[in-house]
Amino acid sequence: MAQHNGNPNAEPPRFLIIGAGSRGNTYARFIKQSTNGIVAAVADPVEFKRRELGRKYVWGDSDPLPEQEFLDWRVFVEYEEQRRRDALMGRKVPPAIDGVFICVLDEQHAEVITGLAPLNLHIMSEKPLATTLKDCLHIYSSMLSRNPALGPEAVFGIGHVLRYSPHNMLLRQLVLEEEVIGEILSIEHTEPVGWWHFSHSYVRGNWRKESTTASSLLTKSCHDIDFILWLLCSPAPGSSNAAHLPSSVTSTGSLKYFKKSRKPATAGDVTNCLSCPIEKDCMYSAWRIYHDKHLAKGETDWPVNIVNPEIESCYNAEGLTAAASKLKHTLEEDYTPGTPQHEIDRRPWFGRCVWESDNDVCDDQYVTITWDDDPLPNATDSATALKGRGAKTATFHMIAQTERQCERRGRIYGTKGEITYDSRTITVYDFASGGSTRFNPPQPGGGHGGGDDGLTRQFVRAVDAVKNHGMGVSEAQVTYVGCTLAEIVRSHAMVFAAEEARKERKVVDWREWWARMVDGPLSRRE
């Protein structure tokens, strides 16, 4: 990954974390652990979560200063606008925030990003960018300068962490730069979500209903679609060629297992795990998943701290028995026919029976993307014209019921060989020699095969390059983040096109769809 030269007069970039949940804590940890950046402030309406993140990464054992914590992003905007007015009047003000990590709920991203956009702060948003195509395009427009031809005025990152793991960076190098299997003809890529992970996040958790968040293809697998386009659509590093755009997309999928018709008859009408007659024998027992598999082993971070964020501090201060009691109380919570729908929708229910929940997102889905020959117009011969731009196909499979948890695997078929990969290894088979070469990329910890750490480092480096090293925003965006805001919008748009194809049982013509759904709305915004 790109790095920049030192500057003895540099001032470390300062960051605000908006959203003090699991992802907010992850990015804060890696800012402090792996970069020269400073976690300068946190914003979250929940005092306990805000104070916990602040104590760990902002103010330590001291009391927080007013500029170090905010009730929410709106309060920060008001503060920052006043700070800038005071600075213009020559008053002494706290140091400025340079960038923001947005780690709120997916459906809040558009409001937060567009609300911050006038401040021209550098922004890193957790994925997905937004839960609707309309909001994605609104974000894109809001981040452009007053003259759209000049591009964005601030660095923009997205939580597509798959791009930043050592494994996937090596895979892309082998495929696109070294061309070890020749031209790509086809790829099969699978995300095995994990049997209990899916039940945690997409049956009981925040992402269980499309009406309150979005499809599971967007909330869980948008970075897998981005990964595929990164390999098959974006030009090789150093190339000035235009992207090789897809020709069509189609998709099939549904909610197959986590629904009432699959509920064991012996469970009866019980809707909460802890009062169910088959709880002790059920593989989806909430108590077994959160207590036996995690808390009882001293594991108080994800997913336990998602069930109740106070369990970690309770465990550290009072021990396992008190923490288990707090966990049990949370898991016993349930809704009834008389519970208002808005109350049901606003929060997860981690003790709810997985066959009695109100979830509706797919637990099994396929996406097929095709490309046609798209030769370069001024190439000297046909082979050169089609290099990296020949016809090809990609299939993606997201499946809930798997042993592995988010450990992607796949095969890439080329003209000269074949690659198989999982999240640990890459094996290249050469047709001509009949030999295989196995690669074992580094496996750093921290989540997503080192992708969380890698994304954080690259975004902070981009901000630092702009702040301290005279680099322009566009150059820093490409050099360090490695993708543009336009690419971010394109990969999200592909998810929305795939969902249209699935729901309407059709094949979507990509270029026609893009012209109608993206170019048209954007032109009307200008």
- pLDDT tens digits for 442-476? 888 777 788 999 999 999 999 999 999 999 999 99
Phi, psi of 434 (to 5 degrees): 75, 10
Examine the fold and report which residue of 345, 379, 397 is the final residue of a domain before the chain moves on: 345
Whether residues 46 and 148 share a domain: the answer is yes
Whether residues 240 and 381 share a domain: the answer is yes
352 in a structural domain = no
Distances (CA, A) of 152 to 3, 117, 477, 514: 22, 10, 10, 21
CATH of residue 98: 3.40.50.720
Mean of pLDDT values over 316-332? 97
Whether residues 281 and 339 share a domain: the answer is yes
- The total number of structural domains in the chain stands at 3
The alpha carbon torsion through 93, 96, 101, 102 (nearest 10 deg) reads 50
351 in a structural domain = no
DSSP string covering 202-242, please? IISSTTS-TTTS--HHHHTTHHHHHHHHHHHTSPPTT--PP
Element (H, E) at 386: none
Q: What is the pLDDT of residue 150?
A: 63
Answer yes or no: are the C-beta atoms of 232 and 393 closer than 8 Å.
no
Whether residues 404 and 498 share a domain: the answer is yes
Whether residues 381 and 508 share a domain: the answer is yes
DSSP-derived 3-state class of residue 281: helix
Answer yes or no: are the C-beta atoms of 192 and 407 closer than 8 Å.
yes
Whether residues 150 and 231 share a domain: the answer is no
CATH of residue 236: 3.30.360.10
Whether residues 422 and 462 share a domain: the answer is no
Is the overall model pTM greater than 0.85, yes or no? Answer: yes
Q: What is the pLDDT of residue 267?
A: 96
Whether residues 317 and 232 share a domain: the answer is no
Whether residues 27 and 153 share a domain: the answer is yes
Whether residues 27 and 94 share a domain: the answer is yes
Whether residues 271 and 137 share a domain: the answer is no
User: What is the percent of the chain with per-residue pLDDT over 90, rounded to a whole number?
Assistant: 88
257 has a pLDDT exceeding 90: yes
DSSP state of 272: B
Model pLDDT for residues 201-234, shown as the tens digit of each residue: 999 999 999 999 999 999 999 999 999 999 999 8
Element (H, E) at 521: helix 520-525
Mean of pLDDT values over 415-439? 97
Examine the fold and report which residue of 316, 345, 374 is the final residue of a domain before the chain moves on: 345
HSE value, Cβ hemisphere, 13 Å, CA-based, for 264? 13
Structure tokens at 87: 């600075």
Q: What is the pLDDT of residue 413?
A: 98
Answer yes or no: are the C-beta atoms of 35 and 460 closer than 8 Å.
yes
12 has a pLDDT exceeding 60: yes
Whether residues 222 and 90 share a domain: the answer is no
Examine the fold and report which residue of 287, 312, 345 is the final residue of a domain before the chain moves on: 345
HSE value, Cβ hemisphere, 13 Å, CA-based, for 85? 6
Domain of residue 143: give its range: 14-159+451-483
Model pLDDT for residues 137-161, shown as the tens digit of each residue: 999 999 986 566 666 789 999 999 9
